[in-house]
Structure 1
């Protein structure tokens, strides 16, 4: 099972933009995620088709479990 952090932002055009970080550490806190989102916005790290990321919208940690199937 792997965990991914999905951080959702609003850009200049008011559109939602998701940034996904795979293999996030197990004990990530809301404060750490909020601080990381602030850095992304303040340093203008990512761009989007609707303009710069301007506001934090939401964040979630997603657990992903896979089961391999033999189909040969």
Structure 2
């Protein structure tokens, strides 16, 4: 099972934009994620079609498991 961190921001147009990071650590904390999101905004690391990322909206960890099926 792999975990993906989804960090949601609001851009200059007020639209939600997501930044996804795959295969994150199991013990990732809220404070670490907030600090990373603050750095992304402060250093203007990413932009979107609606402009620069301006505000933190939300964040979530998504668990995904895959079961291979024998079809051959």
TM-score normalized by structure 1? 0.97
| Residue in structure 2 matched with residue 24 of structure 1 by the alignment | 24
- In structure 2, the residue corresponding to 1:32 is in which secondary structure? helix
Aligned to 1:43: 43
Moved >2 Å (runs of 4+): none
Task: Tell me the CA shift for residue 17 of structure 1.
Answer: 0.2
CA distance in 2, matches of 1:15, 1:71: 42
Distance in 2 of aligned mates of 1:45 and 1:68: 37
Give per-residue Cα distances to partners, 1:19-60, cap 9 Å, x unaligned: 000001011110000000000001111110000000000000
Shift of 1:67: 0.5
Count of residues in correspondence between the two structures: 72
Unaligned runs of at least 5 residues, structure 1: none
CA RMSD in angstroms comes to: 0.6
Distance in 1 (alpha carbons) for counterparts of 2:41 and 2:71: 45
TM-score with structure 2 setting the length: 0.97
1:65 aligns with 2:44: no
